[in-house]
Amino acid sequence: MARPRKPKDEPKSANPQNAYIEGAGLMVEERITETLRRNFMPYAMSAIVSRALPEIDGFKPSHRKLLYTMYKMGLLSGARTKSANVVGQTMRLNPHGDAAIYETMVRMARDNESLLHPYVDSKGNFGKVYSRDMAYAAPRYTEVRLEPIAAELFADIDKETVDFTPNYDNTTTEPTLLPATFPSVLVNANTGIAVSMASNVCPFNLAEVCETTIALIRDPEHDLLSTLKGPDFPTGAFMLYDEQEMQRIYDTGRGSVKLRSKWSYDKSANCIEVTQIPYSTTIEAIMEKVAELVKDGRIREISYHRDETDLNGLKYTIDLKRGVDPDKLMQKLFRMTPLQDTYSCNFNILIAGTPRVMGVREILEEWIAFRTECIRRRVYYDLHKKMDKLHLLEGLQRILLDIDKAIRIVRETEEESEVVSNLMIGFGIDEVQAEYVAEIKLRHLNREYILNRTNEIEQLRKDVAEMEDILHDVKKIRKIMTEELKKVAQKYGQPRKTLFYDMTDEPEVTPEDDTPDYPVNLFLSAEGYFKKITPQSLRMSGEQKLKEGDVITQQQEATNRTELLFFTDRQQVYKTRAGAFDDTKASVLGDFVPVKLGFDEGERVVRMVATTDYSGFLLFCFENGKVAKVPLSAYATKTNRKKLANAYSGKNPLVQVLYIPEDCDILLRSSNARALVFSTAMLLPKTTRDSIGVQVMTLRTRAKLEYAAVVTEETAAQVMKYIVKNIPAAGGMAKELEIAGQMTL
């Protein structure tokens, strides 16, 4: 990086428009790390701390600015106002533009259904969280006000319960946090992407969160799973319950939950109706995936599908063909489409300006500490208000002793400015009390008024003593918090929308193979090009197209469901299916296997093995004359692994890999023109894939094994004289064995 600098010898221009810019003209070198530190780090910190991550009150700055603006506009009560009015007022706190502000409002609105407990009471088209294409109306057409639950966010905000900070142009102030009376951070979903970190907080049921918080206040070792059953999403659906995964999320703040759509079968219409989908997907994404599967022929049970969503809510209808089992079809759709989806949890929350990934227990503990401070500040504020009032009334009480004297002092004082000081002297009260007495109206200078006011003194003294006691006893603060949580749960709690589905109640169903099955011919070239050609296309084709110098090394008849194992020169095997490759023609080069399967750099194919049941054996023939006999079943895996390391021994160069369905005769030939034929029955199968093998051919100094092949019926007569009964053996001279070089591998 380089920065320009101004030449020193150039004179300054008298015209400001032509004046030299500082640093213009010359370039100096600068370390890229310094440029990043100066330019990128402030942006990254701003995105993390002031934009993308929620804080302990459950809100990002954009949410907080919008809600506080609506609160100051008096929208907690009364009629709705146009959304455009709110957006305009919010720009006094949020300078990021009206579009961003309105989009924030949309997601907080009841009609959008993004939040379990929406904070904005909306009227008009606000779109739907479960629809990607259902656009929300412009702000001039919609109306909003705050939901009643929003009152819990601003409870006692005017009593200095939270800090306030100046807005971006110092014309007003805004709260740094909202003093929410319930753990809103866990009640509504919150997603944010910052720089190098992100946050994804799933929503929980309000009543369960309040109950869990109360239990945690009483017992810090409380079992969270006993009261907080699991996430509760606005779109409903079923959650596949996994207690271990839930415990992991509660402990670490990371993990994932599986959500499954709610559906029913209409027998009369022979169709499936989906009414709830996972929170993490949209109806359009589901329909596109289903359409793709139907087009590819992987799902043949569906005749038609359509979106029937209306004012009554979401409805996705799938018409079935005659005789289709709806349960089996839905199991297949759950496996292959977003009708069953995963919601990833990442509870990354700002605590005192520092991002922290916390479990549910730690989040609630932080919220309890935050709320404790809010209540303490509220009590402290009320205490000083009552103490001020008590102080004034105690001054008024002294007037009760001699009202006539007070009147006489005021009447006989010649200058107005001396009234307060004369009252202070006459009754022994301070300036604040004297000022209060001096401002009393003449009509109130009677015993009844003064007695009525001074009757409050005893109650105020009790209140002050009680508040001072609360400030010094955290247990009493926690008791206040508990009562507030109970009221919130009773007033705003609602039944769960997301119900649990126990996987143990579902019978185990082996996933059906949806790959179309038909005959194919497989070809592999020496350079690693693969072709899958149907018999019909092969009959109509001409010569195979290959790169210059390339040749076909393997050709085999198989089916589209055949499993393929590609062994490489790095002792690795890559597993796939014939169906993973497109059907092609002889007139094209085909797929380059190292690129298709993601080989390591410079890795090459040495052998392709095709199987449907992993029966038979593989023979690995090495230059030192050793042969390893490994069951093909050693390469079968229960999991869908695509790459296996240590596929064969790398201690000696590999000459050939041979697949044999059963024991047979094998021809070996060395570089010093010796050959032998042995039966593979002499070799015991090895349990380990990377076995170094058994010595079969004894080699002289500098000689090495250079060729291996299966003896076929056509070549058996020509190699009969090389058969050995025991191994290892040196074999016989085979200079005349020309046909061996032509044998098919």
Residues labelled as active-site residues: 141
The tally of CA atoms less than 13 A away on the side-chain side of residue 212 is: 25
Helix (H), strand (E) at residue 662: none
238-241 vs 499-502, strand pairing mode: parallel
- N-terminal to C-terminal alpha carbon distance within the chain: 59
The count of residues in the chain is 745
| β-sheet bridge partners, residue 665 | 679
Peptide bond into 519 cis (omega under 30): no
Angstrom CA distances, 485 to 70, 213, 481, stand at 24, 8, 6
Placement of tokens 């193979």 in the chain: 513
Could you please report the per-residue DSSP string of 445-507?
-SHHHHHHHHTHHHHHHHHHHHHHHHHT-HHHHHHHHHHHHHHHHHHH----SSEEEEGGGSP
Crossing angle between the packed helical segments 360-400 and 431-438, to the nearest 10 degrees: 70
Helix (H), strand (E) at residue 649: none
Question: Do 348 and 436 form a contact (C-beta atoms < 8 A)?
Answer: no
C-alpha–C-alpha distance, residues 258 and 240, integer Å: 5
Angle (CA) 209-210-213 rounded to 5° is 85
C-alpha–C-alpha distance, residues 296 and 294, integer Å: 5
C-alpha–C-alpha distance, residues 81 and 70, integer Å: 10
Calculate the CA 167 to chain-centre distance. Answer: 32
Classified as helix, coil or strand, 342 is strand
C-alpha–C-alpha distance, residues 277 and 235, integer Å: 7
Could you please report the per-residue DSSP string of 498-560?
SEEEEGGGSPP-PPP--S---EEEEEEETTSEEEEE-HHHHHH--SPP--TT--EEEEEEEET
